[in-house]
Amino acid sequence: MSHRPHPAEAGSTDSLGDMTRARLPLLIAGVAVLALGLTACEKPNPGATVFSGTTSQFRQAACWAFDADSLDANSCAQDVVGAAASGAQTASIPVVPGQVIGISVDPVVADAGWSPRINGQNLVPSPITSTYFRFTFPEFQQVSEDGLIMEIVAGKDEKTRGIWIFKLVS
């Protein structure tokens, strides 16, 4: 048998209900702040990984058109320059002539189609639509001290959606 009087008998109100009603504005404010914080987050750019021997390097796209059919060249150039100014370095991959180089891209990149290039020369005649591609680094290819620039360019029909930049070094 309980010695505490029933709340109605003691003349008090439902204290649990009062506490819940008092905290409701705090809960609503907290949910609003959380929703605002989530909408302020930026989506990360899709990624690409280059493999050679025992080395691999992952990078997000230097620039990527999420909602547009193609990149704005000026905006992309500003992104690349901004990344360089912030100290971001180009990912370097050591290569040896005759060695296999693999490239893996996120599925959204494969859906857009993509092409690997070395020093501006396409390695494939048409865009790749799978997430993985490999090729053998040519025996006759000389690698200068500065390395060779390898670009991964996403998009089809002259509409570029994204760009990644890697450096192949000896």
- Are the CB atoms for 103 and 50 separated by under 8 Å? yes
Model pTM greater than 0.85? no
Q: Which fold has domain 47-169?
A: Immunoglobulin-like (2.60.40)
Instruction: Give pLDDT, residue 59.
Output: 94
The segment with the largest mean pLDDT, out of 4-13, 24-33, 112-121, 153-162, is 112-121
Round to whole Å and give the CA distance between 65 and 61.
Answer: 10
| End-to-end Cα, the chain, rounded Å | 86
Round to whole Å and give the CA distance between 126 and 106.
Answer: 18
Residues 72-116: pLDDT tens digits? 766 776 677 666 556 567 899 999 889 999 999 999 999 999 999
The candidate with the shortest Cα–Cα distance to 152, out of 53, 45, 78, is 45
Residues 122-153: pLDDT tens digits? 999 999 999 999 999 988 777 888 888 899 99
Domain residue ranges in the chain: 7-40, 47-169
Round to whole Å and give the CA distance between 170 and 147.
Answer: 7
